[in-house]
Amino acid sequence: EAQVTQNPRYLITVTGKKLTVTCSQNMNHEYMSWYRQDPGLGLRQIYYSMNVEVTDKGDVPEGYKVSRKEKRNFPLILESPSPNQTSLYFCASSYRILTGQSLYGYTFGSGTRLTVV
């Protein structure tokens, strides 16, 4: 089954304790991205990656790191989590569409509910 797998689904941690949220896709998508969802704010992009070893900041990158060493994996790293990073996180992937081809839209993971206390 084509899917984006995020782990863990729920995570409670303490301020300052480094954590990693994993994301893996099995569709050979070039493009991967992380979003956070907060009430009243919708989803905002944290980081994205156009391909292996190519990453760039989104709209809210502060306090996060990412890496793309393999095409299928795109982990989100919080080096020193703080309470304002309590949120619902989504990983998403897509084909890197060339001009003229159809756009299928993103495939989203099931989300990770992170609480930082």
Partner 1 sequence: AQTVTQSQPEMSVQEAETVTLSCTYDTSESNYYLFWYKQPPSRQMILVIRQEAYKQQNATENRFSVNFQKAAKSFSLKISDSQLGDTAMYFCAFMKHPGAGSYQLTFGKGTKLSVIP
3-class DSSP state of 105 = coil
What's the rounded Cα separation, in Å, for the pair 34 and 45?
6
3-class DSSP state of 85 = helix
Please, are residues 13 and 21 in contact by the beta-carbon 8 Å criterion?
no
Min separation Cβ 72 and partner 1, Å: 17
Q: Which residues of 36-46 are buried (b: 16+ CB within 10 A; e: fewer)?
A: beeeeeeeebb
Residue 81: left if φ>0, alpha if ψ -120 to 50, beta else—which one? Answer: beta
Q: Does 28 bind partner 1 (CB under 8 A)?
A: no
Which listed range, 12-20, 39-47, 63-71, 75-83, lies at the site for partner 1 (CB under 8 A)? 39-47
Using CB under 8 A, count the residues that bind partner 1. 26
Q: Does 2 bind partner 1 (CB under 8 A)?
A: no
Q: Which is nearer to partner 1, 14 or 54 (CB)?
A: 54
What's the rounded Cα separation, in Å, for the pair 96 and 30?
6
The site string for partner 1 over 55-94 (x = CB under 8 A, - otherwise) reads ---x-----------------------------x-x-x-x
| Residues that bind partner 1 in the complex, under the rule CB under 8 A | 31, 33, 35, 40-45, 48, 50, 58, 88, 90, 92, 94, 96-99, 103, 105-106, 108, 110-111
